[in-house]
A and B are shown apart, each in its own frame.
Chain A
């Protein structure tokens, strides 16, 4: 049985490549005004390589890592025996943060580009539908356009948004996704106008990258406490690139608080930890790796997460997790089989690989 890679970043070879997918109005806008509000993302300049990519991931044509399908096939899908790879388009982090119709046009274009240039020619690839979380109407449009195509397996939103995920403004997106059996995937990134942590602005990329777990916790708490899952019981959430172990202490903390303060959220039907246990999945890269096996096992068992972890490489980023050394060596073969394949296959309802290739 091959692998399922739940986080692959493909990318436009250059910004000009989006043009054929934009209409005349937005082509002109894209050229003459372009994207705004991206200054804080330059945190990465102090430490990573171009596009935070592996140095060997630049295709022979010299264009951007993750932009060339034949090379991605060879370096990732063939080399590691990957049955299915789920694409999370790199442009989503900039495009979905653009205001109004411009962001909507860019997102529409990038989804069309993904379909035409990646999913059509490569049957092993699946993709997320890139969505503008803070432009709900545009997000609904994209779910409407691609949500019935089985090659799109989830809806992708960014981690840092205008409000915590439980906020009611986002519920229409969740409803539209759940109706079509699509999970909502949340990937690190996005530009919200708020500091990247509740403690304020970072100085270093080290803080930025390490600190991504903070907004994930806030989102999980917000989703659990605002009754989203009572209202939309089919909703499934995938946290990508944010680790998983913090979910255990968070579930205890929320249950404790709920015990004392539940009069503030009287409509909530169940203990917060029950929602966390039932509605969340996590991709592995970058996985926690305590030296002590017992510590890792404790966290996995405490919330039954062996069924909820899904392997990801994060290709072509520099911190790519090679499948032969990505998971802690002490995990059992059975656990690895679930994490490498079965959990994702079940969540995304993917057919057995042979059938897909037939």
Chain B
């Protein structure tokens, strides 16, 4: 059997008690006094309707993610730390989650890798947290919720990218996040389903910002993974990026070539949830016409509910291409070998 790397599995901090050993006395006392259960962002980003179970320890992760088609996996632990405004608390929660990830999962099972949780809105603190870790610890990526207070190309975030580049981590933008601002330029949608739909355009806004501000020139080795973003919107956006770049490049002279060239080299997207037509033949035709397969990293997004048709689709790919999506693209991307 050829190897399969699942690039997006979600473990959850099962409760504050799990990370309490890594928190200072000060914060443990405060949480106790407030009977606080942790950041509220998790339930907002993933309401019960989309979650089959919460993977709170190694056994749960093994059962859910390593007993199916995949024999290795990348863990993303969304904990809503970005919604905490207190600069020390958001940093300390992030550090505690990372220590927990390392002890509970990475040190115990070498089939697992993880993304680092960082206080994204305090970039210097985030950079310091990134520098606490290395690839030897099992971390391969910095997790950044796609919803942020300011577009991620903005230079105030650059300390994060500099630290990630130094450590050889990829930058992973992931669905979700809580910023307090509406997820569309016309305010708040009425439903979760609309917010999820709108999330694709938030990814587009972040990509646009990263292109415009010169992320790809400033950090030439840095890789950018889009997770749970959907993939089909990408070509339509690249056309528009390229067209507008031809018009406006004197405003952003550091972008020296068509944005689509940099993006195709430096961006990868995880497969689940699929936003392709349900008919696998049509879906594959689309991927091929738009030359998207080389950019895809297999993911199950377990334990979130999407249905099994991602696996069905990949099964239908010719063997050589299937192996790339299931493993080789990720192996190269994350340097797994």
- A interface list, Cβ under 8 A from B: 46-47, 159-167, 192, 194-207, 209-211, 213-215, 217-219, 221-222, 225-226, 243, 245-246, 248-250, 252-261, 263-265, 286, 288-290, 292, 294-295, 298-299, 319
Contact = CB atoms under 8 A, between A and B. Distances in A.
Given A218-B185, A221-B189, 11 more contacts: A204-B212, A206-B244, A206-B245, A210-B244, A218-B184, A218-B194, A222-B189, A253-B233, A263-B49, A286-B243, A290-B235
B275 A256 contact: yes
B171 to A, nearest CB: 15
29 contacts: A161-B186, A161-B187, A162-B187, A164-B194, A192-B185, A192-B187, A197-B204, A198-B182, A198-B184, A198-B198, A199-B148, A199-B151, A201-B150, A202-B212, A203-B153, A203-B154, A206-B248, A207-B151, A209-B247, A213-B236, A215-B201, A218-B184, A218-B197, A243-B236, A260-B305, A260-B307, A264-B193, A290-B239, A298-B290
Contact of B151 (A197, A290, A292): A197
B190 A213 contact: no
Contact of B185 (A196, A246, A295): A196
Contacts of A165: 186
Contacts of B153: 203
7 A-B pairs with least C-beta separation? A199-B205, A249-B232, A218-B184, A197-B205, A214-B201, A215-B185, A253-B275
Nearest to A163: B187
B192 A264 contact: yes
Nearest to A209: B244
Max chain B C-beta neighbours (<10 A), residue from A160, A164, A215: A164
- Size band of the B side of the interface? 35 or more
B230 interface: yes
Contacts of A265: 191, 193
Contacts of A259: 307
Contacts of A213: 201, 204, 236-237, 240
Interface of B: 49-50, 146-154, 179, 181-194, 196-202, 204-206, 208-209, 212-213, 230, 232-233, 235-237, 239-241, 243-245, 247-252, 273-278, 286, 289-290, 305-307
A287 B334 CA distance: 37
Contacts of B276: 252
B186 A160 contact: yes
Contacts of B205: 197-200, 207, 211, 214
B236 A198 contact: no
Contacts of B206: 199
Max chain A C-beta neighbours (<10 A), residue from B182, B197, B244: B197
B185 A194 contact: yes
B293 to A, nearest CB: 14
Contacts of A219: 186
A217 B150 contact: no
A327 B199 CA distance: 31
A205 B250 CA distance: 11
A243 B183 CA distance: 21
B236 A222 contact: no
B281 to A, nearest CB: 14
A300 to B, nearest CB: 12
Nearest to A165: B186
Contacts of A214: 184-185, 201-202, 204-205
Contacts of B273: 256
Contacts of B236: 213, 243, 245-246, 248-249, 288, 299
